[in-house]
Amino acid sequence: MKGTKILVVDDEENIRLLYKEELEEEGYDVELASNGLEAFEKAKENDFDLIVMDIKMPVMDGIQALNEIKKVKKDQPIILCSAYGEFKQDFSSWVSDAYVVKSADTDELKRTIKDLLNVK
C-alpha cells in the first residue's frame, strides 16, 4: 500500500481529516480536496490510484466531478461516499466504481478501497 495515492474529496473538513488519518494509518498516501472542482483539477494534474468523493458539495458536486474526471481519465477508480443512501439508486452515480454510505465508522470504506485496489 506504500506509494498508493488516494484523493479524498469532501466539503466537511472533519470528514476529510478523519478519512486522511484513517487511510494514512492503513499505509496510503492521502491528498485532500474540498469540492468537486478542486478534485477535477487535482485529478487532471496527478495520478491517483483511487478517489473517494462526497456527492453534496459546493462549487461542483461529486456527480459532476465524477463525470468530468471520467472524461479525461476514463479508468480512474472512484468511490462515491455520501451520507444520503438514496443516491445509490441514482442512475448518474452508477458511473462510479463503488458507493459507500458515509459514516464515522470507516471499516466499510477501507474494505471497499482494498477490494478496488486488489489489496489483501
Query: What CATH number corresponds to the domain at position 78?
Result: 3.40.50.2300
Q: Is 120 exposed, middle or buried (0-12, 13-18, 19+ CB in 10 A)?
A: exposed
Compare 41 and 3 and report the one with higher pLDDT.
Answer: 41
pLDDT at residue 103, rounded to an integer: 80
Q: Is residue 108 part of a domain?
A: yes
pTM for this model (two decimals): 0.90
Q: Is residue 87 part of a domain?
A: yes
Three-class SS state of 61: coil
Q: Is residue 48 part of a domain?
A: yes
- Give the range of the structural domain holding residue 39, as residue numbers without chain letter: 5-115
Calculate ∠ Cα 74-88-58, nearest 5°: 70
Give pLDDT tens digits for 66-120: 999 999 999 999 999 887 655 445 544 455 778 788 887 899 999 999 999 987 6
CB 64 within 8 A of CB 93: no
Q: Is residue 120 part of a domain?
A: no
